[in-house]
Structure 1
Amino acid sequence: MWPEILRESLRDARRGWLWWAIGLVLYVLLILAFYPSIKSDPSVNEIMHKLPASLRVLFGEDLTTPAGYVGGRLFSLMPILLSVFAGLTGAALIAGEEARGHLEFPLAQPVSRRALLAGRTLALLILLLGLGFVLFLGTWAAGQVFQAPLPAARVLETAALHTLGAWVFGALALGVGAATGRAGVASAVGAGLGIGLVVLHTLSGQVAALRDLAWLNPWKEALGGSPLLHPVSVTPLLVCLLVGVAFALIAAPFFQNRDVGR
């Protein structure tokens, strides 16, 4: 029965996803459209060198090259946007449906709660991967148009790092929502932690304790590994994928045993 739940979840979420995809493409076009006007201006990098170290960690120090500009101006903010999308969507798939009274009907069907959770979890992953593909395609195509060409493989791997990083927090939100039935709490935990870890990443260059724990941050490779310049290892992608799956598995017994709608 979970394939049916998957199709239903994707169908219900398609309109909201489409608006997010359109907004993401427009944002990419807006950012990339400014690159031709600054790519030959060395004063831009001089300004970046004067910024605090925490901001240089996030935005980089070279905005005159395609990789430096796209990484510093576009992908540096993607963890925040994708965390918001993942947190809101993950919370809505079970806890949000429960709050609106829409979860009682599927639970009344001959389908287990674990199957329902599995279908909604897979739907979240597909929605995020779809948004990540839009990010990849929009960034690569706009780069060709606005004089910031980048290898398709590097853009795809960078988009994958950001997408699967957001998957961790979306799965967390879905798991918290399934375990508690509280959509507001779930979205706050998922999106809030995703954004909070971006802030911690920017501070890691100045705080030794944070630097030592940077390997625990899902955004480490996406924001600090220069994926637009260097090939991405499959390890961080696989780790993020499995961590998200683990959150759903941990939530399963709580969702199985609690009274839904109360």
Structure 2
Amino acid sequence: MWTEVLRLDLLLRRRSMIGFALGMAVYAFAVVALYPAFKNDSGLDAFTANSETVAALFGVSGSLTSPSGWLNANMYSNFLPLIVLLLTVGYGAACLAGQDEDGTLGPVAALPISRRRIATQKFAAMALLAVPVAVLTGLCVLAGRGFELDVGVGPLIGTTVGILLLGIAFGALAMAVGAATGSRGAALGITTAVAAAAYLVNSLAPVVDWLKPWRFLSPFFYAIGDGQLDAGLPPAWAAVLVGMAAVFLGGALVAFERLDVH
């Protein structure tokens, strides 16, 4: 029973996984295909220069007409992380606390495998759920070379990995909160609040001086907030995100061992 829980959860979530992946791929291709119509629009750069705070709220900084600026503004700094978080946080809140509330976690916990292995397999399922969305999006962006949207393959891969690690970290946090409280609502609420605050800190730090030192507390900074689409994902930043996910997974394992499963 090394992968039964993993395979079962992926089977139950396959429709949402495929739907989100295909939907994001269509959106990404549209963003890529529209780039030639806007790449020489000086008004976009003027908007960024004249409305820095408003632009920052959407994770936009620098030139909107450069390939990386266009992709960040329309996808990588906002929409793609949101979709990945919808998948991972939604599953993280449901896989332990949600199933416990529904009464479906009891039969799983009664299987002749340890709770630690159950939680680890659910963590793996959560990570795999986000892979098709991020990978298909990246492939569509690579197709942008035919639409004058030239982005380096290395930085694109690094940014994709960063967003995946971001989703995994917050998904693990949702698992930990859910296992600790036994409440899917609490897991969703607390994790969403933390993610929203972290996003705002990372987005506004470039234009709000007193927030700049705090950006290092935001997982978004390590995933997308340090020019990753231009320079790639530094190994140290990837290690920070992996460390966050590991800490939250450890908390989930400990809390699940103590959870009174119905």
Relative to the length of structure 2, the TM-score reads 0.91
Offset at 1:208? 3.7
CA distance 1:184–1:109, shift in 2 (3 Å): same
Offset at 1:244? 1.0
* Counterpart contact for 2:3–2:121, Cα < 8 Å: yes
Alignment-derived partner of residue 246 in structure 1:
247
* Counterpart contact for 1:49–1:56, Cα < 8 Å: no
Alignment-derived partner of residue 45 in structure 1:
45
Give matches, 1:114-125, under 5 Å: 114-125=116-127
CA distance 1:248–1:2, shift in 2 (3 Å): farther
Letter aligned with residue 181 of structure 1: G
Give matches, 1:78-157, under 5 Å: 78-141=80-143, 143-157=144-158
Offset at 1:182? 1.0
| Superposition RMSD in Å | 1.9
Offset at 1:62? 0.9
Offset at 1:155? 1.0
Query: In the aligned structure 1, how far is the partner of 2:189 from the partner of 2:26?
Result: 26
Alignment-derived partner of residue 5 in structure 1:
5
Offset at 1:69? 0.9
Alignment deviations for residues 136-155 of structure 1 (CA, whole Å, 9 cap, x no partner): 222222x1243212222221
3-state SS of 1:174 partner: helix
Alignment-derived partner of residue 32 in structure 1:
32
Offset at 1:236? 1.3
CA distance 1:207–1:149, shift in 2 (3 Å): closer
* Counterpart contact for 1:157–1:232, Cα < 8 Å: yes
The range that moved more, 128-137 or 213-222, is 128-137
* Counterpart contact for 1:79–1:195, Cα < 8 Å: no
The range that moved more, 164-173 or 121-130, is 121-130
Query: In the aligned structure 2, how far is the partner of 1:110 from the partner of 1:158?
Result: 40
Letter aligned with residue 93 of structure 1: C
The range that moved more, 55-64 or 165-174, is 55-64
Offset at 1:234? 1.2
Offset at 1:171? 0.7
Alignment-derived partner of residue 236 in structure 1:
237
CA distance 1:134–1:12, shift in 2 (3 Å): same
Contiguous gaps of at least 5 residues in structure 2? none
Letter aligned with residue 4 of structure 2: E
Offset at 1:54? 5.7
Offset at 1:94? 1.6
Alignment-derived partner of residue 205 in structure 2:
204
Alignment deviations for residues 202-236 of structure 1 (CA, whole Å, 9 cap, x no partner): 22234444211211211113333111211321111
The number of residue pairs the alignment matches comes to: 260
3-state SS of 1:259 partner: coil
* Counterpart contact for 1:166–1:194, Cα < 8 Å: no
Letter aligned with residue 114 of structure 1: R
Letter aligned with residue 235 of structure 2: V
* Counterpart contact for 2:91–2:126, Cα < 8 Å: yes
Offset at 1:10? 1.6
Alignment-derived partner of residue 177 in structure 1:
178
3-state SS of 2:224 partner: helix
Offset at 1:169? 0.8
The range that moved more, 27-36 or 114-123, is 27-36
Query: In the aligned structure 2, how far is the partner of 1:241 from the partner of 1:129?
Result: 16
3-state SS of 1:34 partner: helix
Instruction: Report % sequence identity.
Output: 27
Query: In the aligned structure 1, how far is the partner of 2:2 from the partner of 2:180?
Result: 19
Alignment-derived partner of residue 164 in structure 2:
163
* Counterpart contact for 1:179–1:252, Cα < 8 Å: no
